[in-house]
């Protein structure tokens, strides 16, 4: 019998049985057997004490009691170290490695692993050799020496052909090495092999570790859904088997997942729990260092930079003690980000450089790329050497992530390159990077990233506009630099000449001058660079953008045409290839009288990406003042012509013969009105809303001797009391805050003419006394003034309320009532003069090619029209549009309320298995619902652009706009339509 056999023969069979259980990985049975020995206060000696202590060390490992492990390993080595029991000595040394590794003492752990390898080699124990090689691989993995780690793991794989369990472990470890070297395809391949084999062998611990690693791999790939599945599956097993160290890793990765999804509060909660558990298990371990560093990153995102700095310093110090270079490099990156948040760029740049150098040395390409992005985000300190250094670094990072196939970080690199190039004045190159970044984020569905790029482009445009409007813009002095005679020459020239000068100066490919003289409605006054301009599209587009407030009284600069979809249909090109554009308001005093539109086309020969520069926008803003002079001059000429024309139209429109009626009651009212038209007495008109009280007031004025003077109308219910008083009576300079000049009131403006007080019943009591004085003395007193002023006005008032009831309830002065109602006319509602309905319908159809069919006319006459003439007019206008301005108007086109249908019916949306409730809805209801659905679908496909949606539906854009109003569809809120 050899020495080993002799020693083994002297060992307790009971202890050998327990040892066998641990060898067979029957951990629970082995631990239970040890507990039974404790219960009988087992006290061995000699070799039995050595083996017993080894078994207690095994238990310490599974209980995560690493101090107990080391104490028992020392006792066991004292008893067994001088024997020839090399297997057990190798196992003891391996347990020492496990304890020191878990405690973060990598130097002692490495020595123990090498000693274990030597012992196992002496007895040619393949399983032990595998464990020892794997242990060395893990140590070098922690030190971020991934090449050496892979060598040791591959050495171990050479011995594992006959041991499936070891193969599972080694494939998983090799996958984790590939994961950190950036070869994600190989990493996923090895991890999935290890996971599947582990499931076949029912190895819970291996399954958990490989699911955690796959979860982390999916986080790197930004496949968050798959990452969540793997981490959840791992966590369920961890809870089932009570794994403690794996629980820390699970919490750490869940925190990482929440961080990448920008749920920083949830990330903080996971990491706080991970730190607490790691502190109980191994406070000086690599686990603790990683958790502290990730926690610091999360706190920084939450705006707690002081807390972040404390934790990352702890992580850095711990990583240095352990010798974990990767964590050292990443901790410096977090410190750099903290200094950046504090605006301390020099310290941010210093720690950023340290992070890059360390991670480059260890070859962790993924983390190196992330550190370069962090370095590139540091604001440039002028056009410095460090700025020039950042550009090649960011290009290096772009290549790293391109090789890794990580589109998210490629887009991040391009965003930082775009920002830096813009600062260095390389505008074209900057825009190219920003466009690629935006498209990259869009392609992977990262809305937050795309919005970051879009917001940055918007900020560049806003800053350029702000500077152009400031005193820093030397071209704003145009009006001061140009002499009076030169301005006269400009005024006498043509707008086309001015536009051509501007376009050539800033190298714009196309330009338009838009005039708003027609009641704010756009009109094209000049153009440059257009072969066949679509005037109708441009005019309707400008109208819509002005109405929505997108175009206002400030210049607009769009550096990237693809990022300004709302402007692309203003003056479209065949390929929709507008590279950049400028919209400038033409302003005189505070009034916008028009706009200049300028753009560049992407495919202009030799230009490439060439956005407008700061100098271009500066020059354009200054030059717009000169264009405004000329535009205003043209508008004055048109106003003089329009004034004469409109005055003639008013006289014709407001003449009594043009009031449409064949009602006997109404005709009697008109006869009485004709008799008193030239009287100066106050007139009161009552009637329901929509009966035409304002029209009768205008008819009285324009058929009186006051027709050549002003007719001024004020709605007493539309203005607050304080504003109404100042508007009616005017004010003196200094009367109140903001009264910087004397201002005449509207009563003074109407001197010699007629003043129409609409909704007189809603006038505040405090003002009623002043109006009474006006009627009695024909004089007013401005706010803040003490001297009354004489005026000559005729007052016509109107209301839809019963003034007698208002007097009884003390809301209207009786003395004012009798003054206003010297002459009183009450207009009958439309339901009392239904004989006028056919005449009014015919009048409202004037100019269209439509005709109301008898069945529809019957419904129109039968309906009571609570909104009176105004409601009838709106209904006819709507039906004309629904009939596309031609063809018959049948009852099918009328509103449901007119047809007498139940307004509370709810229409079901049909699909393959659903139909309308029998008899509840008409064919037209069915068609209308489907029409709405197709319109919404087209708008969604065309990103809300109406012209494109209309083209796809093969209908005119004007028809689409009508349908949007008819079905109450908001193109900006298509998700709820």
- Closest by CA position to 541, among listed 575, 558, 565, 508: 565
Looking at residues 484-503, what average pLDDT do you find? 71
Check if the beta carbon of residue 512 is closer than 8 Å to that of residue 502. Answer: no
Say yes or no to pLDDT of 129 above 80: yes
Task: Identify the residue with better confidence: 655 or 590.
Answer: 590
Most confident of the ranges 144-158, 604-618, 895-909: 144-158
Model pLDDT, residue 354: 94
Say yes or no to pLDDT of 84 above 70: no
Q: At what angle do helices 325-341 and 305-322 cross, to 10 degrees?
A: 160
Model pLDDT, residue 520: 58
The whole-angstrom separation of Cα 875 and Cα 686 is 24
Say yes or no to pLDDT of 729 above 70: yes
| Chain centroid, CA 470 distance in Å | 29
Say yes or no to pLDDT of 478 above 50: yes
Say yes or no to pLDDT of 20 above 60: yes
Question: Please, which pLDDT band fits residue 588 given cuts at 50, 70 and 90?
Answer: confident
The whole-angstrom separation of Cα 290 and Cα 327 is 7
Say yes or no to pLDDT of 541 above 80: no
Model pLDDT, residue 1: 38
Check if the beta carbon of residue 486 is closer than 8 Å to that of residue 494. Answer: no
Global pTM reads 0.51
Classify each residue of 697-736 as buried b or exposed e, where b means 16 or more C-beta atoms within 10 Å of its C-beta.
Answer: bbbbbbbbebbebebbbbebeebeeeebbbebbbbbeebe
The whole-angstrom separation of Cα 774 and Cα 301 is 67
The whole-angstrom separation of Cα 247 and Cα 930 is 54
Question: Please, which pLDDT band fits residue 372 given cuts at 50, 70 and 90?
Answer: very high
Model pLDDT, residue 905: 44
Model pLDDT, residue 896: 85
Phi/psi at 213 (5° precision): -65, -40
Say yes or no to pLDDT of 929 above 80: no
Looking at residues 652-658, what average pLDDT do you find? 50
pLDDT tens digits for range 252-302: 999 999 999 989 999 999 999 999 999 988 888 888 999 999 999 999 999
Please list the helix, strand and coil fractions of the chain in percent, rounded to the nearest 5, in that order.
Answer: 65, 10, 25
Model pLDDT, residue 944: 81
Eight-class DSSP state of 977: -
Per DSSP, the residues of 583-624 read: EEEEEETTEEEEEEEEEEETT-TTT-S-PPPHHHHHHHHHHH
- Strands in 227-381 per DSSP E: none
pLDDT tens digits for range 325-363: 889 999 999 999 999 999 999 999 999 999 999 988 877
Question: Please, which pLDDT band fits residue 749 given cuts at 50, 70 and 90?
Answer: confident
Name the β-bridge partners of 758. 715
pLDDT tens digits for range 673-697: 888 888 888 899 999 888 888 888 8
Check if the beta carbon of residue 216 is closer than 8 Å to that of residue 179. Answer: yes
Phi/psi at 558 (5° precision): -110, 110
Say yes or no to pLDDT of 366 above 90: no
Question: Please, which pLDDT band fits residue 651 given cuts at 50, 70 and 90?
Answer: very low
The gap between the terminal CA atoms of the chain, to the nearest Å, is 90
pLDDT tens digits for range 164-211: 888 888 888 888 888 877 788 888 999 999 999 989 988 898 999 999
The whole-angstrom separation of Cα 964 and Cα 969 is 5
| Alpha-carbon distances, residue 939 vs 342, 532, 561, 932, 933 (angstroms) | 45, 27, 20, 11, 10
Per DSSP, the residues of 811-852 read: SS-HHHHHHHTTEEEEPPPGGG-GGGHHHHHHHHTTTSEEEE
The count of residues in the chain is 977
State the greatest distance between any 2 C-alpha atoms of the chain, in Å, as a whole number: 144
Looking at residues 570-596, what average pLDDT do you find? 79
The whole-angstrom separation of Cα 265 and Cα 270 is 9
Check if the beta carbon of residue 670 is closer than 8 Å to that of residue 703. Answer: no
Model pLDDT, residue 3: 47
The whole-angstrom separation of Cα 678 and Cα 550 is 49
């Amino acid at each position: 019998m050899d020495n080993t056999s002799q020693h083994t023969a002297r060992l307790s069979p009971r202890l050998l049985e327990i040892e066998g259980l641990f060898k067979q990985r029957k951990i629970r049975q082995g631990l239970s057997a040890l507990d039974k020995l404790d219960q009988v206060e087992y006290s061995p000696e000699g070799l039995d004490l050595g083996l017993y202590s080894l078994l207690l060390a095994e238990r310490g490992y599974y209980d995560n009691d690493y101090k107990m492990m080391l104490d028992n390993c020392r006792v066991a080595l004292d008893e067994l170290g001088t024997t020839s029991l090399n297997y057990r000595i190798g196992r003891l040394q391996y347990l020492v490695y496990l304890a020191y590794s878990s405690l973060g003492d990598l130097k002692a752990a490495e020595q123990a692993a090498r000693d274990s390898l030597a012992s196992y080699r002496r007895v040619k124990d393949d399983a032990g050799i595998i464990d020892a090689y794997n242990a060395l691989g893990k140590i070098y993995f922690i030190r971020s020496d991934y090449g050496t780690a892979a060598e040791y793991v591959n050495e171990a794989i050479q011995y594992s052909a006959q041991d499936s369990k070891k193969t599972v472990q080694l494939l998983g470890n090799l996958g984790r090495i590939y994961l950190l070297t950036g070869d994600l395809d190989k990493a996923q391949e090895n991890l999935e092999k290890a996971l599947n084999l582990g499931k076949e062998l029912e190895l819970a611990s291996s399954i958990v570790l490989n699911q955690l690693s796959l979860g982390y791999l999916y986080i790197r790939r930004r496949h968050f859904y798959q990452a969540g599945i793997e981490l959840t599956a791992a966590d369920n097993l961890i809870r089932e088997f009570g794994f403690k160290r794996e629980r820390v890793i699970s919490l750490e990765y869940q925190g990482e997942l929440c961080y990448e999804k920008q749920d920083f509060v949830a990330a903080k909660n996971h990491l706080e729990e991970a730190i607490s558990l790691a502190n109980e298990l191994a406070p000086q371990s690599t686990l603790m260092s990683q958790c502290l560093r990730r926690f610091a990153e999360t706190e920084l995102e939450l705006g707690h930079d002081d807390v972040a700095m404390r934790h990352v310093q702890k992580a850095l110090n711990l990583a240095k003690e352990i010798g974990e270079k990767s964590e050292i490099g990443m901790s410096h990156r977090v410190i750099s980000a903290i200094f950046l948040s504090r605006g301390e760029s020099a310290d941010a740049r210093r720690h950023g450089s340290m992070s890059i150098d360390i991670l480059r040395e260890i070859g962790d390409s993924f983390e190196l790329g992330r550190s370069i992005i962090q370095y590139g985000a540091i604001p440039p300190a002028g056009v410095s050497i460090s700025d020039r250094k950042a550009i090649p670094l960011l290009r290096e990072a772009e290549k790293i992530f391109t090789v890794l196939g990580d589109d998210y970080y490629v887009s991040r690199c391009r965003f930082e390159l775009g920002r830096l190039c813009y600062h260095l004045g390389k505008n074209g190159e900057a825009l190219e990077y920003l466009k690629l970044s935006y498209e990259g984020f869009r392609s992977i569905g990262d809305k937050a990233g795309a919005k970051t790029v879009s917001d940055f482009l918007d900020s560049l445009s806003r800053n350029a506009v702000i500077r152009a409007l400031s005193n820093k813009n030397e071209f704003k002095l145009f009006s001061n630099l140009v002499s009076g005679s030169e301005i006269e020459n400009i005024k006498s020239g043509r707008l086309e000449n001015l536009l051509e000068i501007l376009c050539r100066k800033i190298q714009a490919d196309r330009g338009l001058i838009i005039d708003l003289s027609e009641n704010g409605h756009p009109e094209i006054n000049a153009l440059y660079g257009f072969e066949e301009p679509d005037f109708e599209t441009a005019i309707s587009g400008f109208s819509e953008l002005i109405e929505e407030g997108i175009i206002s009284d400030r210049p607009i600069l769009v550096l990237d045409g693809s990022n300004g979809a709302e402007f692309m249909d203003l003056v479209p090109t065949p390929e929709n290839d507008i590279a950049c554009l400028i919209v400038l308001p033409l302003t005189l005093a505070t009034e916008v009288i028009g706009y200049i539109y300028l753009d560049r086309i992407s495919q202009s020969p030799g230009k490439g990406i060439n956005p407008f520069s700061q100098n271009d926008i500066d020059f354009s803003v200054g030059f717009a003042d000169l264009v405004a002079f000329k535009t205003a001059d043209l508008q004055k000429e048109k106003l003089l012509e329009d004034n004469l024309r409109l005055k003639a139209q008013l006289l014709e429109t407001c003449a009594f013969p043009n009031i449409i009626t064949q009602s006997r009651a109404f005709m009697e009212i008109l006869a009485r009105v004709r008799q008193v038209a030239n009287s100066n007495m106050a007139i009161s008109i009552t009637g329901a809303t929509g009966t035409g009280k304002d029209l009768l007031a205008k008819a009285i004025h324009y058929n009186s001797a006051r027709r050549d003077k002003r007719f001024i109308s004020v709605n007493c219910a539309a203005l607050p009391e304080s504003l109404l008083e100042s508007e009616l009576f005017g004010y003196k300079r200094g009367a109140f805050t903001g009264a910087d000049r004397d201002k005449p009131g509207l009563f003074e403006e109407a001197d010699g003419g007629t003043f129409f007080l609409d909704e007189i019943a809603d006038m505040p009591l405090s003002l009623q006394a002043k109006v009474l004085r006006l009627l009695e003395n024909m004089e007013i007193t401005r706010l803040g003034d003490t001297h009354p002023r004489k005026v000559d006005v005729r007052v016509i008032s109107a209301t839809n309320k019963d003034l007698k009831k208002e007097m009884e309830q003390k809301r209207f002065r009786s003395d004012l009532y009798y003054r206003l109602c010297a002459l009183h006319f009450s207009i009958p509602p439309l339901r009392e003069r239904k004989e006028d309905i056919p005449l009014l319908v015919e009048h409202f159809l004037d100019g269209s090619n439509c005709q109301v069919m008898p069945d529809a006319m019957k419904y129109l006459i039968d309906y009571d029209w609570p909104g009176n003439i105004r409601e009838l007019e709106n209904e006819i206008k709507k039906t004309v549009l629904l009939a596309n301005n031609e063809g018959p108007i049948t009852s099918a086109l009328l509103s449901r309320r007119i047809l007498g249908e139940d307004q509370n019916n709810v229409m079901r949306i049909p699909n393959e298995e659903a139909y309308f409730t029998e008899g509840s809805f008409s064919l037209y209801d069915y068609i209308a619902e489907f029409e709405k659905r197709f319109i919404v679908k087209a708008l969604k496909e065309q990103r809300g652009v109406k012209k494109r949606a209309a083209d796809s539906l093969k209908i005119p854009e004007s028809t689409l706009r009508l349908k949007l109003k008819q079905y109450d569809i908001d193109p900006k809120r298509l998700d709820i339509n």
